[in-house]
Every structure is written in C-alpha cells, then in structure tokens.
Amino acid sequence: MSLRVLPAESRRDRERFIDLPWLLRRGDPDAWKNWIPPLRTQVRDLLDDGENPFYRNASRRLFVAWRDGVPVGRIAAIENREHNRFHRDRVGFFGFFDCAPDPEAATALLDAARGWLIARGLDRIRGPMNPSTNHDCGVLVRGFRHPPTFLTPWNPRGYGELLEEAGLEPTQDLLAYWIPVSDPRFQLPPRFEAQALRARERQGMSFRDVDLRRWEKELDLCWEIYNEAWEPNWGFVPLTREEFEYTAGDMKSLIYPEFAFIAEVEGEAAGFMLILPDLNHILKGIPDGRLFPTGLLRILLGRRKLRSGRVIALGVKERYRSRSIFPLFAHEAFRRGQAMGALGAEASWILEDNDSINRPLRAMGLRPHRRWRIFEGPLEPGGAGEAA
C-alpha cells in the first residue's frame, strides 16, 4: 500500500489536519468512550501562525500522512526560536501528533518533521508540544481509563511505542493527581491548616481572590509571577505579555474568582493559583467539537453546574517559597470546594522531577493517576519530507 507524507498548506489542508483525530477515532468505541474532542476553534487558534502571538518568535509546518488516499496521521514541525534563545540550544519540536496504529506512517511523519527542522539548522527533536510547554504536551502513557480533564491531551494506547519505534527516547514525564474533595475518607494533613494560619498571622501575608474588574492589572501580576515562578522548570520558556494575555483571554469567561487566588507579602504579589471548572464534562456532549449551532449554548448553560475542576496553575516566586503559600492555597481551595459541594479537582500537569509540588501532594496521600511522556532524539541528516 502506498504511503505519502504531504505538507498541509492550504486552508482546506489545515481543516483536514484539524479533522484528523475525529477520522482516526471513527468506528473505535473504546476511543470514543474516553476521548473528549477539543473545540475546533481552540485548535485553530493554537495553529494560527498569523494571529497567535506565539508565532512572533516561532514557525511551524504541518504534515499529513496518506495511505492509499486515506489520511492516517498528522504532525506539526515547530521551530521555537524563543526556546532556543532562552536555553542557548538548537532544539526543534514536533506537536499535534496523531496516528493510526501504523509504525511506518508514524516514522514517515517524524522523518518529515526532521527534514524540515534540519533545514532550519536545528540538531535535536523533542515533543509532542502543542505547540510549547506553555500549552498541553506529551502523549498519554498511563491513565487511559480516565476521561481527560480540560486542556489535557488524550490519545489511544500505543502512541509512546510508535514514537520509540520512530527512533525517539523518553526525556520527561508529566503527572496528574486527583484530589477527591467529596470523599469523606480524604482530609488534608492537619499541619496544612496550621501552616496556612501561620502564613497569614505571622508572615505579613494577605490572600485574596482575583478581581475580574481589574483584569489588565491582575494579568500583569500573574504574568510576572508566572515567568519568575516557572523559570527553574525543565523546558520552560518565558511568555511575552502578549502571549500571556492571548492565552488568558480564552480562560477569562471560565474563571470563578473564588477559585483564582493571589497571595501578597507586604503588598507584593508572591504567588497565584488558578482552578478552572472541568469544561470537558460539557464538551463530551459536543462530539463534533463545533461551537455552533448549539455548542456555545451548552457551555453557557452548563458552566455553573460543573462540580469538578483542574488546578491549571500554581506558582510562587522563589524568594517566597518558604512562607507556606502552598499549604495556604491548598487549605483554602479544599475548604471552598467542600463548601460548594465540589467532587474534586485534578492537579496537572506536573513535571515528575518537580519535588516542590510532588512532595506535598504525596504528603496528602495522593498518587499520580495519569502520566504523559515527552520524547526526544537527535536530528539525523537526510530526514525525509519537505524541507522548504
């Protein structure tokens, strides 16, 4: 059977690229049982190299694999120039990887991405990044029986094996923990409450909800914390103010101010935590991923009924990490979640080597229930595919 990998350049090609996960999962009841399709408009935004500010310092090329005229896989090759400037390396990336259980097609897709990245003077390939570590990344390798939470990737079993067969090796794992707020058997360690009280009473710390009426000023505070707090993390790339606003703008309508906290020490913003409602419970009822004609109405009517969420961001400036801000956030979020009758929240994604977050979560008696993996390998000369 003939196999071809072609660039997706026209608008029609890009729409086919976006459609491909639906085509691959069609007729697979196991996939449809757990996969929750993203909103198509959200995927378009992530790929839009004309409007998305990420592409001010990055470029991408989309490829689709065809077998006997039928699309069987896709990949995006990504040059993140800001990453390479910040880390002083020459890493190329791939993302938006989806493929049938077809090792030859997976390898051909990776070869096409390799060829494009080699032509741009890069020497390694890493991914999946969709399109960077500031968005969702990795392929799911454990936790397939759990439906994904909002803005986390889900794929059928075997994607990790496909990437390894294509010559890549694991380089970093990302973890998710489920916090069972409604389970009477689960309680925060007693010291969390004591530490939270001490942080407020003795350390000059104040604690408040995000004020959506002061959106621009609150964005400035959170942007400053984000870039300082996440800088030590593996693969981190600072977000420009424009990128941060672009990403946050998509989330603004979903934010419950009572689950978006800012901690201040003597008037300086020291940390923030954001828990978003798990919109996937609504998106499950929008299987085509389209906002219109009824998808938007489903979201608007169902948003306030959601009783589970995702801890999507928790960051503390380095000089304040000894001031018990994590126990303060955890204690307050848990208390408020119980008060509203929440079922629970997923904390994700968390780097496997991020001890400052993994250690207190494990101290709460939690263990990872979902795991994603990022792969990496050298870029060998002579990669197949389009390079221009």
Q: What Å distances lie between residue 256 and 127, 154, 209, 210, 225, CA to CA?
A: 32, 25, 9, 9, 20
Q: Which of 388, 371, 129 is nearest to 235 (CA)?
A: 129
Q: Does domain 190-372 have CATH number 3.40.630.30?
A: yes
Residue 293 pLDDT > 90, yes or no? Answer: no
Domain ranges within the chain, ordered by starting residue: 3-172+374-378, 190-372
pLDDT band at 338 (very low <50, low <70, confident <90, very high): very high
Window from 135-139, 276-280, 322-326 with minimum mean pLDDT: 322-326
pLDDT band at 385 (very low <50, low <70, confident <90, very high): very low
- Using CA of residue 224, residue 229, residue 230, residue 233, what is the dihedral sign? positive
Nearest-angstrom CA–CA distance, 226 and 207: 17
CB 168 within 8 A of CB 373: no
Structure tokens belonging to residue 361: 């979560």
Nearest-angstrom CA–CA distance, 213 and 210: 9
Which amino acid, one-letter code, is at 171? T
Does residue 293 have a cis peptide bond before it, meaning omega lies within 30 degrees of 0? yes
Q: Is 306 helix (H, G, I), strand (E, B) or coil?
A: coil
Nearest-angstrom CA–CA distance, 266 and 134: 29
Alpha carbon of residue 299 to chain centroid: 20
pLDDT score for 387 = 38
For 272-304, the DSSP string reads EEEEEE-THHHHTT-TT---TTTHHHHHHHHGG
What burial class does residue 34 get, using C-beta atoms within 10 Å of its C-beta: 0-12 exposed, 13-18 middle, 19+ buried? middle
pLDDT score for 322 = 74
Q: Average pLDDT in the 249-259 region?
A: 89
Alpha carbon of residue 153 to chain centroid: 7
Residue 381 pLDDT > 70, yes or no? Answer: no
Phi, psi of 257 (to 5 degrees): -55, -30
Q: Which of 42, 10, 44 is nearest to 151 (CA)?
A: 42
Residue 300 pLDDT > 50, yes or no? Answer: yes
pLDDT score for 202 = 65
Residue 42 pLDDT > 90, yes or no? Answer: yes
Structure tokens belonging to residue 115: 């060829």
Nearest-angstrom CA–CA distance, 346 and 286: 22
Alpha carbon of residue 360 to chain centroid: 22
Nearest-angstrom CA–CA distance, 63 and 11: 13
Does residue 131 have a cis peptide bond before it, meaning omega lies within 30 degrees of 0? yes
For the chain, the first-to-last Cα distance in angstroms comes to 27
pLDDT score for 28 = 84
What burial class does residue 145 get, using C-beta atoms within 10 Å of its C-beta: 0-12 exposed, 13-18 middle, 19+ buried? exposed
Q: Average pLDDT in the 194-210 region?
A: 80
Q: Which of 108, 117, 127 is nearest to 90 (CA)?
A: 117
CB 386 within 8 A of CB 117: no
Q: Average pLDDT in the 250-273 region?
A: 90
pLDDT score for 386 = 42
Q: Which of 231, 194, 200, 239 is nearest to 316 (CA)?
A: 231
Nearest-angstrom CA–CA distance, 345 and 299: 19
Residue 380 pLDDT > 90, yes or no? Answer: no
- CA dihedral angle for residue 208, residue 210, residue 213, residue 218, rounded to 10 degrees: 110
Nearest-angstrom CA–CA distance, 46 and 54: 9
Residue 323 pLDDT > 50, yes or no? Answer: yes
Nearest-angstrom CA–CA distance, 280 and 235: 27
Residue 257 pLDDT > 60, yes or no? Answer: yes
Window from 133-137, 191-195, 214-218, 311-315 with minimum mean pLDDT: 191-195
pLDDT band at 203 (very low <50, low <70, confident <90, very high): low
Domain 3-172+374-378 identical in fold to domain 190-372: yes
Please state which CATH number belongs to domain 3-172+374-378: 3.40.630
pLDDT tens digits for 77-117? 999 999 999 999 999 999 999 999 999 999 999 999 999 99
In this predicted model, which residue has the larger pLDDT, 30 or 259? 259
